[in-house]
Protein backbone atom coordinates (compact mmCIF):
# COMPACT_ATOMS: atom_id res chain seq x y z
CA UNK A 1 0.00 0.00 0.00
CA UNK A 2 1.14 3.49 -0.71
CA UNK A 3 0.32 6.47 1.45
CA UNK A 4 0.24 10.13 0.41
CA UNK A 5 3.39 12.04 1.46
CA UNK A 6 1.27 15.18 1.95
CA UNK A 7 -1.70 14.05 4.06
CA UNK A 8 -0.84 10.37 4.85
CA UNK A 9 -4.07 9.04 3.27
CA UNK A 10 -4.22 5.88 1.19
CA UNK A 11 -3.37 6.40 -2.49
CA UNK A 12 -5.13 4.48 -5.27
CA UNK A 13 -3.76 3.47 -8.66
CA UNK A 14 -5.50 5.15 -11.59
CA UNK A 15 -4.31 5.81 -15.13
CA UNK A 16 -0.70 4.82 -14.45
CA UNK A 17 -0.44 7.12 -11.43
CA UNK A 18 -1.04 6.93 -7.73
CA UNK A 19 -3.68 9.44 -6.65
CA UNK A 20 -4.55 10.53 -3.13
CA UNK A 21 -8.28 10.27 -2.47
CA UNK A 22 -8.18 13.06 0.12
CA UNK A 23 -5.92 15.86 -1.13
CA UNK A 24 -5.51 14.94 -4.83
CA UNK A 25 -1.70 14.53 -4.76
CA UNK A 26 -0.48 12.49 -7.77
CA UNK A 27 2.67 10.45 -8.24
CA UNK A 28 3.85 8.40 -11.23
CA UNK A 29 4.03 4.66 -10.60
CA UNK A 30 7.76 3.88 -10.62
CA UNK A 31 7.66 0.13 -10.03
CA UNK A 32 4.55 -1.58 -11.43
CA UNK A 33 5.46 -4.88 -9.78
CA UNK A 34 4.50 -3.32 -6.43
CA UNK A 35 0.91 -3.06 -7.67
CA UNK A 36 0.57 -6.74 -8.56
CA UNK A 37 -1.48 -9.03 -6.37
CA UNK A 38 0.94 -11.43 -4.68
CA UNK A 39 -1.22 -13.43 -2.30
CA UNK A 40 -4.69 -14.89 -2.31
CA UNK A 41 -7.09 -15.63 0.50
CA UNK A 42 -7.40 -19.29 1.40
CA UNK A 43 -10.30 -20.87 3.19
CA UNK A 44 -9.66 -22.67 6.44
CA UNK A 45 -10.33 -26.36 6.73
CA UNK A 46 -13.56 -27.39 8.39
CA UNK A 47 -12.87 -29.61 11.37
CA UNK A 48 -15.29 -32.48 11.70
CA UNK A 49 -15.08 -34.42 14.95
CA UNK A 50 -14.47 -38.04 14.01
CA UNK A 51 -12.77 -39.95 16.79
CA UNK A 52 -15.00 -41.71 19.30
CA UNK A 53 -12.92 -40.30 22.19
CA UNK A 54 -13.61 -36.71 21.08
CA UNK A 55 -17.31 -37.39 20.46
CA UNK A 56 -17.81 -38.89 23.91
CA UNK A 57 -16.84 -35.60 25.57
CA UNK A 58 -19.20 -33.43 23.48
CA UNK A 59 -22.50 -32.16 24.91
CA UNK A 60 -25.76 -33.53 23.53
CA UNK A 61 -29.00 -31.78 22.64
CA UNK A 62 -32.53 -32.74 21.70
CA UNK A 63 -32.70 -32.26 17.93
CA UNK A 64 -34.19 -34.46 15.21
CA UNK A 65 -31.68 -36.15 12.87
CA UNK A 66 -32.64 -35.47 9.23
CA UNK A 67 -31.40 -38.96 8.23
CA UNK A 68 -32.76 -41.44 10.78
CA UNK A 69 -35.19 -39.38 12.91
CA UNK A 70 -33.30 -39.95 16.17
CA UNK A 71 -33.92 -37.14 18.68
CA UNK A 72 -30.44 -36.79 20.24
CA UNK A 73 -27.23 -35.42 18.73
CA UNK A 74 -23.80 -34.26 19.82
CA UNK A 75 -23.10 -30.61 19.00
CA UNK A 76 -20.15 -28.20 18.70
CA UNK A 77 -19.46 -24.70 17.35
CA UNK A 78 -16.91 -23.50 14.77
CA UNK A 79 -16.11 -20.01 13.50
CA UNK A 80 -16.07 -20.54 9.72
CA UNK A 81 -16.91 -17.08 8.44
CA UNK A 82 -15.71 -13.61 9.39
CA UNK A 83 -15.20 -12.84 13.04
CA UNK A 84 -18.15 -10.42 12.97
CA UNK A 85 -20.54 -13.19 11.84
CA UNK A 86 -22.05 -15.86 14.06
CA UNK A 87 -20.57 -19.29 14.55
CA UNK A 88 -21.83 -22.41 12.79
CA UNK A 89 -23.39 -25.18 14.88
CA UNK A 90 -22.50 -28.74 13.93
CA UNK A 91 -24.54 -31.76 14.97
CA UNK A 92 -23.71 -35.48 14.88
CA UNK A 93 -26.48 -37.99 15.44
CA UNK A 94 -25.88 -40.29 18.43
CA UNK A 95 -27.51 -43.19 16.56
CA UNK A 96 -26.49 -43.13 12.85
CA UNK A 97 -23.49 -40.71 13.18
CA UNK A 98 -24.83 -38.42 10.40
CA UNK A 99 -23.25 -34.94 10.64
CA UNK A 100 -25.00 -31.70 9.59
CA UNK A 101 -24.66 -28.00 10.25
CA UNK A 102 -26.99 -25.16 11.15
CA UNK A 103 -26.51 -21.45 10.50
CA UNK A 104 -28.09 -18.51 12.31
Q: Tens digit of pLDDT for each residue in 69-92?
A: 999 999 988 877 677 777 888 999
Which numeric CATH code is attached to 52-102? 2.20.25.10
pLDDT reported for residue 45: 58
Confirm if 76 and 57 have CB atoms less than 8 A apart.
Answer: no
Q: What are phi and psi of 56, to 5 degrees?
A: -60, -25
Residue 32 has pLDDT above 80, yes or no: no
pLDDT at 93: 92
Binding site per annotation, positions for Zn(2+): 4, 7, 20, 23, 65, 68, 93, 96
Task: Say what the pTM is.
Answer: 0.46
Q: Is residue 2 scored above 60 in pLDDT?
A: yes
Q: Which residues are annotated as a binding site?
A: 4, 7, 20, 23, 65, 68, 93, 96
What are the catalytic residues? 84-85
Q: 24 pLDDT exceeds 60? A: yes
Question: Domain extents for the chain?
Answer: 1-30, 52-102
Amino acid sequence: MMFCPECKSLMKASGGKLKCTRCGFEKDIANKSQLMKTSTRTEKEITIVDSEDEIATLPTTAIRCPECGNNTAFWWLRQLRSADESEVRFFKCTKCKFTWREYD
